[in-house]
Copies of this chain bind each other. A is one copy, B any other.
Amino acid sequence: MDKKYIKMWNNCLANRTERMKGSAIRELLKLTQMPGVISFAGGWPAPELFPVREFEEAARYWLPREGDKMLQYSVTEGLPPLKDFLVDYMKRYNVPAEPENILLTNGSQQALDLIGKVFLNEGDKIIVSEPTYLGALQAWNSYGPQYVTVKMDEKGMVVEQVEKLLKKDKIKFIYVLPNFHNPAGTTLPLERRKKLTDLVKKYDTFIVEDDPYGELRYEGEDLAPIISLLKEKVIYLSTFSKTLSPGIRLGWITAPASVMEKFVQAKQAVDLHTGTLVQYLAWDLCHRGILRAHVKELREVYKRRRDVMLESMEKYFPKGVKWTKPEGGLFLWVIVPKGIDMKKLLDKAVKLKVAYVPGAEFHANGGGENTFRLNFSNAKEDKIVEGIKRLGKLLKEAIG
């Protein structure tokens, strides 16, 4: 294309595009397509476990019966029977909700974007943990907030720091991943959850509780979701991406009815409604009990993969490397000695045919060069052993 046109398009871009950047993860996912690469980079479920047959049964049964509705436009809020199911389902995890508190979205990522759209003015301050979920930063960057970061320890967000920040500044909301944190793998204890809600009660702020992996617990007891402790000031997000399938793009927001109207208006403006067909199929798998049985299977398989990864790390990682031991979820977090830059090492890793996500990506305000994230749900056990062996080699060379 002629340079004058390229210039014209660049001149036409909105200011917010300066804050929008491509994801390193996205480029990495391309690398993982290369033959022979063992990837611990993405947050991908194990494809061999997808309930493929059950989706096919659902399509075969329902399309001839309800095809005229499944292929038609539907309401912005989401398919009513699916919302009814979610109300019951979330009750088991003590998430309080009625159908009018639920909006179906294109995965949790869209829920994060809608939160930005409904709440964020440029310059608004958000409290996030350090590290925090990269996708949330990507969703919100275009709205131009300032991130105020809170340290994490082995129990998750250090809640004591939050109070200082709330006293000092007007904070729009606090972003919390209480269960099996992405990327850190930590789980916030009940006392910290309670402390957080006590704090939020005192200030004009609220909590965004992001819970994509809550069901994938491999040991210990379920803890009360934060929304169960203070439903008036918590927006709760979850998804089918890690349980049924990410390719159907189906998540949901649970929020107080008084803000739901704005979410629905925002959702209508961005894409009218979430796909009717995929909502029908997901509902079928839910109400037939497939979801519950499938989650049980995932727990068993992913627990073994986590254990194999932890054992392999013990065996192959050099001294001076530390990591979290997550009770559930998909990720664990590795800290190497200061001075080693895991982003710079990634090239070498790919040459050794293994991939991870450098930890700096998860830091809203810089830092974290000596950290990285590993996913243990996607690769099979033998691949995990081999991949960790390769990573061990890389780390030994780097640490010297």
Instruction: Give the B-binding residues of A (Cβ under 8 A).
Output: 1-2, 5-6, 8-17, 20-23, 26, 29, 42, 44-45, 47-48, 50, 52-53, 55-56, 59-60, 63-64, 67-76, 105-107, 109-110, 113, 117-121, 124, 135, 138-139, 141-143, 172-173, 204-206, 232-233, 244-249, 256-259, 261-262, 264-266, 268-278, 281
CB distance from A242 to the nearest CB of B (A): 11
B10, B69, B71, B117: the one within 8 Å of A248 (CB)? B71
Residues of B near A68 (CB, < 8 A) are: 47-48, 50, 52
A121 CB to closest chain B CB (Å) equals 5
Instruction: Write the nearest CB–CB distance from A173 to chain B, whole angstroms.
Output: 8
Q: Is the CB of B269 within 8 A of A142?
A: yes
The reply to whether A272 and B69 form a contact with Cβ atoms under 8 Å apart is no
- Cβ–Cβ < 8 Å partners of A48 in chain B: 68
Q: Is the CB of B270 within 8 A of A118?
A: no
A8 nearest in chain B by CB position = B204
Smallest Cβ-Cβ distance to A50: which chain B residue:
B71
Nearest CB in chain B: distance from A223 CB, A: 24
The answer to whether B26 touches A71 (Cβ under 8 A) is no
A41 to chain B, nearest CB (A): 12
Q: A20-B262, A29-B75, A106-B275 are in contact. List 7 more A-B contacts (CB 8 A).
A: A14-B117, A47-B69, A48-B68, A52-B68, A60-B60, A270-B270, A278-B278
Q: Which residue of B lies closest to A203 (CB)?
A: B8
A271 CA / B50 CA spacing, docked (Å): 21
* B17 A118 Cβ-Cβ under 8 A: yes
- A30 CB to closest chain B CB (Å) equals 8
In the assembled complex, the Cα of A47 lies from the Cα of B63 at a distance in Å of 12
Using Cβ atoms and an 8 Å threshold, which residues of chain B touch A75?
Answer: 29
